[in-house]
Chain A
Amino acid sequence: MELLKNTSEDKFVLVMLSEKQYEKKLEELVRNAENNNAKICYVCLSKPVDDVIASLKNLKISIGKFFFIDILSSHYKSRESMENCIFIGEGTHKLGLIKNAIGRAISEKGCGMVIFDTISSLLVYEQTHDIVRFTHDLTTEEKQQNINNVFIILKEGGEMQGYCNSLIGDLKMFADKSIDFVDD
């Protein structure tokens, strides 16, 4: 099944997953994206880039087509720069920093698809409406005209379930395509 198409119609794709399905469906999505011709910008919001790269290698997925943005590692240790990754440090304007890093991934690295794994992780730092506005700003920017943005969201939000439901409800209002994986 072709989930992610490199078409201008699917600029804003929302993928809703349960924790149970997360690993399996993420693999499916990433393989699907890799089959796409575009270089992929992978925004690591829920796990550090080292873990993401290890997972991709385990799955025998070549990381050559990926460029990474990592917002977690710098919280724990100072990182040496990596050729295929931008590390976002601690700061109050995290969404702005992520947006700038994505801009660089597009203009300097030629990325044509951006995968956010997982956008709901941002609820730890940001308010729901700021995240919705961020997704809107990203998908409507001129330099994003030919970019496919894939926002993966976990349906389970733990203590923040209310905010998570709110985020899903509001993002669905604007997504070109919503994929809701229902548990078997």
Chain B
Amino acid sequence: MQKIMIVDDEPSIRELIKAIFSSEGFEVIDAASGQECLEKLKTEKPDLILMDMMMPGMSGRETVEKIRQSESTKNLKIMFLTVARFSETGKETLDNLNVLDYVTKPFDNDDLVKKAKKALG
């Protein structure tokens, strides 16, 4: 069973995404912050991470930077969740961070699942 990690400070978003992917047959784990995500990645190896961009403390961008710096997590597949559209500079940053795709909130459930499955390959 493929494992998805959702990182978002909004409990309702985490619950919604958990429900969506559980019904699609995925195992879903979650983290409420960038810091909690990094802690969990010491023991978990998700096939895909869905990362919120705007979070208190460590932002999604900073969390991904740290994930890419660590030998054990640098190759993990990551997608962003964001309420804002990214600028051209932002898209370049996504490329540099090797972020596969992004989904804007509020999202269409089918679109989210489709993009996640495409990212998983």
Interface residues of A (CB under 8 A from B): 12, 127-130, 132-133, 136, 140, 166, 169-170, 172-176, 178
Contacts and interface: CB of A to CB of B under 8 A. Distances in A.
Contact of B86 (A132, A166, A174, A178): A174
Main secondary structure of the interface of B (DSSP, over half): loop
Interface of B: 53-57, 59, 61-62, 83-87, 89-90, 93
Given A129-B54, A174-B90, 16 more contacts: A128-B59, A129-B57, A132-B59, A133-B83, A136-B54, A136-B84, A166-B62, A169-B62, A170-B59, A172-B87, A173-B53, A173-B61, A173-B84, A174-B86, A175-B89, A178-B87
A174 B84 contact: yes
B38 to A, nearest CB: 16
Mostly, the A contact residues are helix
Return the 10 tightest CB-CB contacts between A and B, nearest first.
Answer: A173-B90, A136-B84, A174-B84, A129-B54, A170-B59, A172-B89, A129-B56, A175-B87, A174-B87, A178-B89
Contacts of A133: 54, 83
